[in-house]
Amino acid sequence: MTDPTVARLERRLARERSARVEAERIAERGMRELYLANQDLDLLVAARTRDLEHERFVAQQASQSRSQFLAALSRQVRSPLNGVLGTLELLEGQVTNDQAQAWVTSATRSAEDLLRLFSRLLLFVQLDDDGATDADNSPTELDKVGTQVRERWARPAITHGKLLIVDDLTAPGTAVSEPPGRLGHLLDELIENAIVHADPGPVRVELREADGEVTIEVTDDGPGIADVDQLLDPSIDDPSGRLQSLGMGYPLIRRLTDQLNATVAIDVAATGGTTVRVTLAAIG
Amino acid sequence: MKGIIFNAVEEAVTELHGADTWDDLLDHAGVDGSYTALGTYPDSELMALVGAATEMTGVDTPDLLRVLGRHALPVLVGQVEELVDRDGDVFDFLASIHDLIHVEVKKLDPNANPPDIEADRLDDNTLQLTYRSTRGLPALAEGLIVGSGDMFEQPVTVVTNVGADDSSTVFRVSRAA
Ligand code: HEM
């Protein structure tokens, strides 16, 4: 005969054991269900990812063909426009009559404006394509910037009856990491805008460096922007006309500033005159 | 009913009367008695156990359930330790059963079907709890309420009023002076 205490203990042990086995079975089933649910989830995620990738591809294609169309349009428009400009130049030499001379000048201005507009459109589209304009990602030396601005803008400034003063106050060898192409485009937009608005000039471009920052200031004596904040919102109308006059230039400046690691600030002096200040980090 | 309730009952019986009594109860009730907190078992097994206890002790079933509930509470709290502030107020704990603790129980096992324990604070010293369940175990609830007072060391007294329609029971819980 077995000892009743031992029998009790054996029964308790058997109970515990079967409870443990059951717990394990339940836990295993739970884990298996979790595993299967995870697998379903993986499949679902994979399918969603595929769908999204396809949608992105389609959207990319659409955006690419739109960009390509706009780029081709602006390139193709420029050839006949150059033809028009050439012809107008020939005509200018031929006409003697003052009135006709004025018409030719006016036509030339308009054709130039149109040409500039399409150049900006092309640049904008190219910047949109992931900044494809800058194959070159090398840093920009500031003395080169000064020289380039002088070479490029001294003559157009004179044509507009304005004086262009370029002051490079940076130490030789100062550079910024932004590539020369995009930085050049930004300065072109700012300087051209200043030349158009200077009243009656001069336009001053100043390059300075302090505390590891490079500032490039473009100052003119033209009327400023009534409310500087407006420049941040292209949808706001612009009583001073300054903003509107930027036309295509405005979104271009925003896009360039976004792509460059730059900040742009605008000061309007109480005495009239506007300063646009671009700040970049110096390297070296 | 979830296995944790059976575990809590087993613990209460063992604590009060020893492991042998639990063995005898299982025999008497004719159940095999291996319960895991993860499992779910027929309500009838719980009723058979309580019935057997009544037969063996002569104590009536509601009284037994009250005692079991009072001693089972710490086991239940152990299951959701992270949701309970042991240094907190017992009324806060009781008021959290419905919206927090029994909700969590259902999250862990969607098949669990804990009762409704609606809480109304009548004043700083009086909390009204309304129990609604298809299982009809108000005495167990009462035991669990008193057990909560024990655990928080903030003793409570409970006045029980069976609801007009029999499907609900109202407990008026007061802080014991
Ligand atoms: C941390 C504390 C608590 C936990 C973790 C907990 C958990 C549970 C669980 C798992 C069940 C079984 C449900 C099922 O199997 O369908 C249950 C039932 C029950 N609970 Fe709670 N509970 C707690 C506190 C309380 C308190 C304080 C009361 C009383 C106010 C209470 C009253 C009840 C009652 C009476 C039942 C039996 C089922 C019924 O009558 O429908 N519980 N609880």
CB proximity A27 to B under 8 Å: yes
Strand partners, B162: B169
Query: Exposure pattern of B51-77 as b/e (b: 16+ CB <10 Å)?
Result: ebbbeeeeeeebebbbbbbbbbbbbbb
CA distance B82 to chain A (A): 21
In the predicted model, residues of chain B with pLDDT beneath 70 are 162-166
Q: Which of A18, A24, A28, A33 to mutate to test the interface with B (most CBs of B within 10 A)?
A: A18
pLDDT of residue B166: 67
**Structure token pair of residue B146:** 């008193």
pLDDT of residue B177: 72
Strands A203-210 and A164-168: parallel
Band of the pLDDT at A243, cuts 50, 70, 90? very low
Task: Give φ, ψ of B126 to 5 degrees.
Answer: -135, 125
The answer to whether residues B72 and B5 touch, using CB atoms and an 8 Å cutoff, is yes
pLDDT of residue B164: 62
Instruction: Encode pLDDT of A127-156 as tens digits.
Output: 776 555 555 678 888 888 899 999 989 888
What's the rounded Cα separation, in Å, for the pair B40 and A38? 25
**Among protein residues, the one whose CA lies closest to atom 32 of ligand 1:** B141
Q: Which of B13, B22, B34 to mutate to test the interface with A (most CBs of A within 10 A)?
A: B34
pLDDT of residue A267: 76
The arithmetic mean of pLDDT across residues A248-259, rounded, is 74
Q: Answer yes or no: is pLDDT of A270 > 80.
A: no
What number is the ipTM of this complex?
A: 0.76
pLDDT of residue A135: 58
Name the range with the highest mean pLDDT among A119-128, A163-172, A218-227, A231-240: A163-172
**Among protein residues, the one whose CA lies closest to atom 20 of ligand 1:** B114
What's the rounded Cα separation, in Å, for the pair B86 and B90? 9
What's the rounded Cα separation, in Å, for the pair A64 and A85? 31
User: A141 CB contacts (<8 Å, ≥6 apart)?
Assistant: A173, A174, A175
CA B36 to chain centre: 17
Query: Exposure pattern of A79-109 as b/e (b: 16+ CB <10 Å)?
Result: eebeebeeebeeeeeeeeeeeeeeebeebbe
Instruction: Encode pLDDT of B68-115 as tens digits.
Output: 999 999 999 998 999 999 999 999 999 999 999 999 999 888 889 999
CB proximity A34 to B under 8 Å: no
Ligand 1 atom with least separation from CA of B77? 1
pLDDT of residue B103: 93
Closest CA to A153 of A193, A192, A204, A206: A192
Band of the pLDDT at A238, cuts 50, 70, 90? very low
The answer to whether residues B75 and B81 touch, using CB atoms and an 8 Å cutoff, is no
pLDDT of residue A228: 46
For residue A139, cis peptide bond before it (omega within 30 degrees of 0): no
